[in-house]
Chain A
Amino acid sequence: MSKPIAIVATLLLVLTYLLIESQSLDQGPRVRMQQSLQAIQLHDAELNRDVLMARAGLLANYDPLVQTGRKLSLDLEALKREGAVIARREPGIVKKISALAGAIGQKLASVEYLKSDNALLRNSLAYFAQSLGTVREQPNTRESTMEVAALSHGMLRFVQGPDAADESGWRNDERSIRHDRALGHASGIWLALSHASS
């Protein structure tokens, strides 16, 4: 008889403990904090996807980036609210949430710069392609046309994967074209070079 009594007593003890734990103030905030963290993960992934689409010229406008940024900020506010409750027992959590908030803030600031730069890039690429097309109609030497083609190719490579070597390559092409008198009169070519430089 003593064994079943011990089992029942143990079960009662465990259930009582779980009941008290489930009713403690910490449980609600903890669950909500986990939900906020999951929402942050989800919206961060959405933001990454939209950034890549914008970079590839596949995002029709920047509204999705703004909307996802707003969602991330709201998630973060919710996380801070729940974190403040949990911090009464675990003060260390404040520092962790603050670090996460800093990282999200930096990311959103970077996205702002991406939008500004991407707008210029898209505009310049369109103009660059159009202007270089006009060079073919100019009475230039074959050599000059080759230089322009090299610049065009270099710039496209730079846009695909910017690195210092590519940049120095097309900047050399650009300088060479700027010194070419025959091309100097080509319609729109100087402006195309300005777009390339910017």
Chain B
Amino acid sequence: MVQRNEPVTAVPQHSDINPQRAALGERLFYDTRLSRDQKYSCATCHPLDHGGMDGLPVAKSPVGGSNLRNTLTVFNVGLNASYNWDGITTSLEHHTDLILTNPGLMNMSWDELLTRTRSDSGYLAAFQSAYPQGLTQANVLDAIAGFERSLVTPDSRFDRFLRGERDALSPDEKEGYRLFKAYGCVSCHQGANIGGNLYQKFGVFQETIPGERSPSDLGRIRITMMPRDRHVFRVPSLRNVAVTAPYFHDGRESSLSGAVKTMAKAQLGRRIRKDEVRQIVAFLKTLTGKYRGKILAEPPSGEQQR
């Protein structure tokens, strides 16, 4: 069943992340002083005990208004080729900068952020110890991005299967993987992150965004200004997909089986039988990995998170 040249590869189990800097990044990740009103931290929208995302259809802006999209999980973010639904940047540090300074999100200025963090003697000492230049904008971004890169979820049952543990999947789950490849889902959802490394139009065979209710529906055209990128989005990773509902850029689909049916019709131009949908969903559920030895859990409910 497992071929030598599988399109999906296991999450790497080792990394070269500096543990001291990642620990510093973790502290920053949970620090609400990184938002202007001091109520939000990175972990507010990316709770690590619940799939690394908020469970809401679209993120809530701390300052009101809602041009935002579905929050993508922060787990395995280092395996992505680019960031956010439009692929606004290929640098995790740059993306972190954009989030911190976005007036609709953390709404911070670097002057204010550095003043706040430098007033904390713990941060000053830790940065002096971890970086020759101490507490600077570049090092704050490096520490947060380093921590985020450490958020990998190895040891999913599917990865164990890929590593040769043949009994890690049930016959239904194995059949689901076969269908996933045979129907062509794997054309876009491939690689170590099972997606996250290319862009695709949402609605290849069927219109999925009639009327463009929001500028956030436009997709990658907002970045490239190329007409062919209208309704084109970054293909999201399917790692931990069972614990990161709701789905799609606007969070329109709450169930995994519904998302599979939509993808089959809109992206592959196919109708898939009920039992096949069930088997593909069974396979997708095997992609849930572990963080710090614990299997990831889904958010209890989006509204309860805030």
A residues near B (Cβ < 8 Å) are 60-63, 65-66, 69-70, 73, 109, 112-113, 115-116, 119-120, 122-123, 126-127, 191, 194-195, 198
- Once the chains bind, are B187 and A119 in contact (CB under 8 Å)? yes
- Once the chains bind, are A62 and B190 in contact (CB under 8 Å)? yes
Q: Which secondary structure dominates chain B's binding surface?
A: loop
Known contacts: A119-B188, A126-B184, A127-B184. The answer to whether A61 contacts B9 by CB under 8 A is yes
- Once the chains bind, are A62 and B198 in contact (CB under 8 Å)? yes
Known contacts: A63-B192, A198-B204. The answer to whether A120 contacts B199 by CB under 8 A is no
Chain A hits for B5, CB < 8 A: 60
* A126 to chain B: closest residue by CB: B184
| B7 at the A interface (CB under 8 A) | yes
Residue of B6, B190, B198 contacting most chain A CB atoms (<10 Å): B198
Q: How far is the CA of A195 from the CA of B270 in the complex (A)?
A: 11
* B194 to chain A: closest residue by CB: A61
Offer 25 A-B interface pairs, CB within 8 angstroms, sorted by A.
A60-B190, A61-B191, A61-B192, A61-B197, A62-B81, A62-B190, A62-B191, A62-B198, A63-B191, A66-B81, A112-B198, A115-B197, A116-B200, A116-B201, A116-B232, A119-B188, A119-B198, A119-B200, A122-B184, A127-B184, A127-B269, A127-B270, A191-B205, A191-B270, A195-B269
Query: Looking at the complex, which one of B188, B197, B269 makes contact with A194 (CB distance below 8 Å)?
Result: B269
* A109 to chain B: closest residue by CB: B224
Query: Looking at the complex, which one of A65, A70, A116 makes contact with B90 (CB distance below 8 Å)?
Result: A70
- Once the chains bind, are A120 and B269 in contact (CB under 8 Å)? no
Q: How far is the CA of A50 from the CA of B45 in the complex (A)?
A: 37
Contact with A along B75-116 (1 / 0, CB 8 A): 000000100000000100000000000000000000000000
- Once the chains bind, are A61 and B199 in contact (CB under 8 Å)? no
Given contacts A60-B5, A62-B191, A116-B201, 19 further A-B contacts (CB under 8 A): A61-B191, A61-B197, A62-B197, A63-B191, A63-B192, A63-B197, A65-B197, A66-B191, A69-B90, A112-B198, A115-B197, A116-B198, A116-B199, A119-B198, A119-B200, A120-B187, A120-B200, A122-B184, A126-B184
| B68 at the A interface (CB under 8 A) | no
Chain A hits for B270, CB < 8 A: 127, 191
Q: How far is the CA of A122 from the CA of B183 in the complex (A)?
A: 11
The residues in B between 183 and 219 inclusive whose CB is less than 8 angstroms from any CB of A are 184, 187-188, 190-192, 197-201, 204-205
The residues in B between 45 and 92 inclusive whose CB is less than 8 angstroms from any CB of A are 81, 90
| B130 at the A interface (CB under 8 A) | no
Known contacts: A61-B7, A198-B204. The answer to whether A66 contacts B268 by CB under 8 A is no
Q: How far is the CA of A179 from the CA of B224 in the complex (A)?
A: 39
* B5 to chain A: closest residue by CB: A60
Q: How far is the CA of A62 from the CA of B195 in the complex (A)?
A: 9
The residues in B between 1 and 57 inclusive whose CB is less than 8 angstroms from any CB of A are 5-9
Known contacts: A62-B197, A112-B198, A112-B199. The answer to whether A123 contacts B8 by CB under 8 A is no
Q: How far is the CA of A61 from the CA of B199 in the complex (A)?
A: 14
Q: How far is the CA of A127 from the CA of B232 in the complex (A)?
A: 22
Query: Looking at the complex, which one of B8, B224, B232, B268 makes contact with A61 (CB distance below 8 Å)?
Result: B8
Chain B hits for A73, CB < 8 A: 90
Query: Looking at the complex, which one of A63, A113, A191 makes contact with B9 (CB distance below 8 Å)?
Result: A63
Q: How far is the CA of A109 from the CA of B232 in the complex (A)?
A: 14
* B271 to chain A: closest residue by CB: A191
* B4 to chain A: closest residue by CB: A60
* A70 to chain B: closest residue by CB: B90
Which 5 A-B residue pairings sit nearest by Cβ, starting from the closest? A123-B184, A61-B190, A61-B191, A115-B198, A63-B191
Contact with A along B144-179 (1 / 0, CB 8 A): 000000000000000000000000000000000000
Chain A hits for B81, CB < 8 A: 62, 66, 69
Q: Distance in Å from the Cβ of B228 to the closest Cβ of chain A?
A: 8
Q: How far is the CA of A70 from the CA of B78 in the complex (A)?
A: 13
Q: Distance in Å from the Cβ of A73 to the closest Cβ of chain B?
A: 7
Chain B hits for A120, CB < 8 A: 187, 200, 204
Chain A hits for B228, CB < 8 A: 113
* B185 to chain A: closest residue by CB: A123
Q: How far is the CA of A126 from the CA of B8 in the complex (A)?
A: 18
* B267 to chain A: closest residue by CB: A123
Q: How far is the CA of A126 from the CA of B7 in the complex (A)?
A: 15
Chain B hits for A122, CB < 8 A: 184, 187
Chain B hits for A123, CB < 8 A: 184, 187, 268
Q: How far is the CA of A8 from the CA of B102 in the complex (A)?
A: 68
